Chains A and B, each alone.
Chain A
């Protein structure tokens, strides 16, 4: 399993986490290429369907990056995201996709270093955990 490279689908808020990823880049911080970043206008617009589809299509992890409480560009989108993540987690746990594969993190636009840390940490954890139980099944049976 040592050469297993987890696929992480990352939904990043345009105003904070995506900007942090930009900052990490311009600051020449390197973070693992396992993240497939999808820019969204707010963590609050990440429809549960996006997360379900990512996992059903074989993603090993899903990371949602949003603004710290109080900093949301749309005032409260991140709080809505948090409730949805809690809801989805309850559902996915039953089928072997636990909190360790599905993360919500607050990363501000200025926190390029934190983005690197979270990306590193998630990649390492997923490497230890191994491929998603859905690796080769999503579309085949779904």
Chain B
């Protein structure tokens, strides 16, 4: 049974209440550092690493923006551990990516208190700036988004979030619960023993649990799942040939931003920037000769398909690929539709459990007999 602590806040004081929680944890030694979305001095909200209790006032965990995936930050902080205890406040998609990175030994959770926030979606980085200019706050977002109103005058939450069926985080020590909490209220949930101890140390009293939460989450997941299935069907029909896929990717300039932004693109050095793909001039000429012409830079589809073979099993659908594309290619549905197929084939779900072996990391002698169809 998990423990809940209720935080009621007056208008414009959500972050003040939440900062008390983080301040308490730091002051009482529950953790030595907090990684959480923090308001920047002028505008914008970015993940920041706070080690002093005096600097918790700017926390803004529910801000609908994620300029970079927090899973990559978690990797920077823990792949070579500091030995200091850190609380990380991350979105559900970031947590699922963290789970995959743990298995790849690129994140180490030994000294981490993982806190998952309820996520109703995020705006693109540039749209979030407009959102703030138009007076939007995390409070207004939580209230409107729960009523299904995420759209602003000329932008909306990103496509990935609209079809995301994971608005709440699993595999965490604590959750920041907003969905179904009611206006003017959020809950802090301690899920694991580690989480309970941290909650106690923070000085916040536990008690009442959010009555409407399960129902509200279920409703949201149903809406998102429907939208997901619709999007999948649509996108698969639009890209059922290589030609159609090439058309979707026609604006690609091989900048590889999508794989830089991708939290689960795990190679230290991407093969596409190695000597393997540094060809001699006569090689390009030969390829051009073959069909009479060669689009340059070449190997665009090859790159994207290779990326799919590498990361689709771990794709958490965060949409950072689409956000990172300088030419506005909507890559998320390409990776998500592929991931849906490849993960299903191996009965695997990215981010579901740290104990589940990644499909390409193992094998059995008596499986997948249908691949060859041969039995001795």
On A, residues with C-beta under 8 Å from B are 48-49, 52-53, 56-57, 68-70, 76, 79-80, 82-91, 93-96, 103-106, 133-134, 136-142
B41 CB-CB contact with A under 8 Å: no
Does more than half of chain B's interface fall in helix, strand or loop, or is it mixed? helix
Q: Which of B238-275 contact A (CB under 8 A)?
A: 239-243, 245-246, 271
Contacts of B305 in A (CB 8 A): 52, 56, 91
B374 contacts chain A at the CB level, 8 A cutoff: yes
Structural contact, B345 and A95, CB atoms closer than 8 A: no
Q: Check if B242 sits within 8 Å of A137, measured CB to CB.
A: yes
Residues on A with beta carbons closer than 8 Å to the beta carbon of B366: 69
A94 touching B298, Cβ below 8 Å:
no
Which of B53-61, B113-121, B167-175, B336-344 makes up part of the contact surface? B336-344
Given contacts A90-B338, A133-B242, A137-B291, 16 further A-B contacts (CB under 8 A): A49-B309, A52-B309, A53-B302, A82-B363, A82-B371, A87-B309, A87-B359, A89-B371, A90-B344, A91-B309, A93-B341, A95-B242, A96-B242, A137-B242, A140-B292, A141-B243
Are B240 and A96 in contact, with the CB atoms below 8 A?
A: yes
B218 at interface (Cβ–Cβ under 8 A)?
no
> Whole-angstrom distance between the alpha carbons of A25 and B157 in the complex?
63
Partner of A139, one of B243, B287, B313: B287
The interface residues of chain A lying within 8 Å CB-to-CB of B202 are none
Q: Which residue of A lies closest to B290 (CB)?
A: A139
B308 is an interface residue with CB less than 8 A from chain A: yes
> Is B246 a contact partner of A142 (Cβ separation < 8 A)?
yes
Residues of B within 8 A of A89 (CB): 371
CB closest residue in chain B, given A93: B341
Contacting A at CB under 8 A, from B168-221, are none
Which residues in B have their C-beta under 8 angstroms from that of A137?
A: 242-243, 246, 291
Interchain Cβ contacts under 8 Å between A and B, 25 examples: A48-B309, A49-B302, A49-B306, A52-B302, A52-B306, A53-B302, A56-B302, A82-B363, A82-B368, A82-B372, A83-B360, A85-B371, A88-B309, A90-B342, A94-B236, A94-B240, A94-B337, A95-B241, A104-B371, A105-B374, A133-B242, A137-B291, A139-B290, A139-B298, A142-B295
**A68: min CB distance to chain B, Å:** 6
Minimal Cβ-Cβ distance residue in A for B359: A83
Please list the residues of chain B having a beta carbon within 8 angstroms of any beta carbon in chain A: 236, 239-243, 245-246, 271, 287-288, 290-295, 298-302, 305-306, 308-309, 312-313, 337-338, 341-342, 344-346, 359-360, 363-368, 371-372, 374, 376
What A residues does B346 contact at CB under 8 A?
83, 86-87
Name the distance in Å between A93's Cβ and chain B's nearest Cβ.
Answer: 8
Q: Which residues of A contact B345 (CB under 8 A)?
A: 86-87, 90
A96 to B236, CA, bound (A): 12
B341 (CB) vs chain A CBs: closest residue: A90
Tell me if B359 and A56 are in contact (CB < 8 A): no
Q: Contact at A80–B371, with CB atoms within 8 Å?
A: no
Indicate if the CB atoms of A91 and B312 lie closer than 8 Å: yes
Please tell me if the beta carbons of B293 and A140 are within 8 angstroms of each other in the complex. yes
Contact present for B241 and A142 (CB under 8 Å): no
Among residues of B, the one whose C-beta sits closest to the C-beta of A89 is: B371
Which residues of chain A come closer than 8 Å to B371, judged between CB atoms? 82, 85-86, 89, 104
> Does the CB pair B372–A106 fall under 8 Å?
yes
Which A residues are in CB contact (< 8 Å) with B368?
82-83, 86
Cβ A139 vs Cβ B363 within 8 A: no
Chain B residues, CB < 8 A from A84: 309, 360
Minimum CB–CB distance from B237 to chain A (whole Å) comes to 11
